[in-house]
Amino acid sequence: MNRTDLIEIIRNGENSGVEFKRDDSHPNFIAREMSALLNFEGGLILLGVEDDGTISGLTRNREEAERWVMEIARTHIQPEFIPSWHSITFDNGKCVGVIRIAADSPGKPYKAKRGSYWVTFVRVGSTSREATRDEEGRLYQASRLMRYEIKPVLDMGLDSLDIDRLNNYFRVLLKRDAPSVNDRESWRRLLLNTGLLVEAGGITAATVAGLLLFGENPNYRVPQAGITATAFPRTEKEYDTVDEEVIRGPLVSIMSERGRAEEKGVIDRAVDFVNRNLHTIAWLEGGRRIRKKALPLEAVRESIVNAVVHRDYTLVGTDVEVSMYRDRLEVISPGRLPNSVTVEKMREGVLRVSRNELVKDVLRDYGYVEHLGMGVRNRIIGSMRDHNGTEPDLIEEDHRFTVRLWKDPEDTPSY
């Protein structure tokens, strides 16, 4: 960063990634801003800049200011970290210290010292505030210190799981022996070993993942499970719809020995919804009439699978959304991408991190998830390029991630 860059940043004012501070502030105040940026997406703290953007300059020499900043990062932040530091001096002799906080810091949630307590702060717009319980939980989950999917649902036990579906999973998908349907104790031990049940407080409870995958009625205690699917007649959301379905139940299907879905789960039902609302394109090639769907079902399925695997299940009250329009399909997954995952990594096929590892592992056994993590690159991007030459949109926003698949403009019908 040079003087010109710094002046432009100051001119634009404070925002979610930029904070102005004096270097005579109490160390706790500096630590608060550091921790909030660490818990967000990183950013800059400019020392020697007033709230209104006036450059007042450091009150200490540059070396002393640097030592002061590093001491705060070591003693006033948990876990401690080492920020990037440099300073820029202007012609009038005033100096601004630049603290750069890296994005994707692995130690979330970072806590700042406040008196004798350690407090988690988050960045909201241009301010830093104390995190709510849910926000702090999501930070633990982002750093993979807490896995929400293996949290016990205390009033849901073995009886809340579909034994027929579980039996199908172990015998048909995994090709291994499973207890008889009536041998409840053997089933309890088996599912404890696989993470679908967990012992907590002296009782055996289903985990969130167990309910999502095999629950008789997952939404009874995990209301955010499921998919809301809607087909709209034009290019925007409106009250008029072509078709709509609220899809509830376990994620996985009961499969036959030949690999056919006999009793469909949420994923296959969502794909069926899209399939029945996709028009067919037809053209003559030589003497043959060729037909194909407006979108490749392989890309549709991968988009839906990614949404249920990577969504943030701590966000209550919002389903995965599958929205069909005249010109496109959108699959919206609640929550940001898991920690360290970026859109660029997804496009390059280097996605190895999942927010819900157990869910991902079971869906891999069913063939929904690729073993090498190349699903987005091969099944979405590659399929769309081969199908109609369009490029899918992968869009990360504050509280959701959207995959947008475009139909060929020349082939979109008018309803």
The answer on 89 and 44 residing in a single domain is yes
The answer on 378 and 241 residing in a single domain is yes
Range of weakest confidence among 95-104, 123-132, 136-145, 199-208 = 136-145
The answer on 115 and 33 residing in a single domain is yes
Taking residues 112-136, report their average pLDDT.
89
Per-residue pLDDT at 146: 65
The answer on 161 and 88 residing in a single domain is no
The answer on 162 and 129 residing in a single domain is no
What is the percent of the chain where pLDDT is above 90?
Answer: 67
Cα dist from 123 to 18, 19, 337, 394, whole Å: 10, 10, 17, 24
Summary mean pLDDT of the chain: 90
Taking residues 176-184, report their average pLDDT.
93
- Whether 255 shows a pLDDT value over 90: the answer reads yes
Structural domain includes residue 170: yes
- Whether 355 shows a pLDDT value over 70: the answer reads yes
* CATH number, position 284: 3.30.565.60
* CATH number, position 31: 3.30.950.30
- Whether 204 shows a pLDDT value over 90: the answer reads yes
pLDDT band at 102 (very low <50, low <70, confident <90, very high): confident
Per-residue pLDDT at 12: 94
The answer on 240 and 188 residing in a single domain is no
- Whether 150 shows a pLDDT value over 90: the answer reads no
Structural domain includes residue 357: yes
Per-residue pLDDT at 414: 45
Pair of tokens at residue 63: 């070396």
Of 135-144, 255-264, 365-374, the range with the highest mean pLDDT is: 255-264
- Whether 319 shows a pLDDT value over 80: the answer reads yes
Answer for the pair 95, 62: CB distance below 8 angstroms, yes or no: yes
Taking residues 18-30, report their average pLDDT.
93
Cα dist from 49 to 22, 27, 81, 86, 295, whole Å: 6, 16, 23, 15, 53
Of 270, 222, 245, residue with least CA distance to 368: 270
More confident of the two residues 251 and 291: 251
| Backbone CA torsion sign across 151, 157, 160, 165 | positive
Q: How far apart are the first and last CA of the chain?
A: 54
Taking residues 122-136, report their average pLDDT.
89
Structural domain includes residue 196: yes
Structural domain of residue 296, as residue ranges? Answer: 227-411
- The domain tally of the chain equals 3
- Whether 145 shows a pLDDT value over 60: the answer reads no
The answer on 203 and 139 residing in a single domain is no
- Whether 373 shows a pLDDT value over 80: the answer reads no
β-strands 320-324, 227-231 pairing: parallel
Q: pLDDT tens for residues 58-87?
A: 999 999 999 999 999 989 998 888 888 999
Structural domain includes residue 354: yes
The answer on 183 and 38 residing in a single domain is no
Phi, psi of 232 (to 5 degrees): -105, 150
The answer on 57 and 186 residing in a single domain is no
Per-residue pLDDT at 408: 80
The answer on 290 and 360 residing in a single domain is yes
The answer on 235 and 374 residing in a single domain is yes
Per-residue pLDDT at 291: 78
pLDDT band at 167 (very low <50, low <70, confident <90, very high): very high
State pTM to two decimals.
0.70
Structural domain includes residue 399: yes
- Whether 290 shows a pLDDT value over 50: the answer reads yes
The answer on 268 and 251 residing in a single domain is yes
What is the percent of the chain where pLDDT is above 70?
Answer: 93
Per-residue pLDDT at 143: 67
Structural domain includes residue 222: no
Domain boundary (146, 175, 191) is at 146
- Whether 336 shows a pLDDT value over 90: the answer reads no
Per-residue pLDDT at 282: 67
Q: How far apart are CA 277 and CA 322, in angstroms?
A: 12
Domain boundary (109, 126, 146) is at 146
pLDDT band at 350 (very low <50, low <70, confident <90, very high): low
Domain boundary (158, 185, 217) is at 217
Structural domain includes residue 264: yes
Structural domain includes residue 291: yes
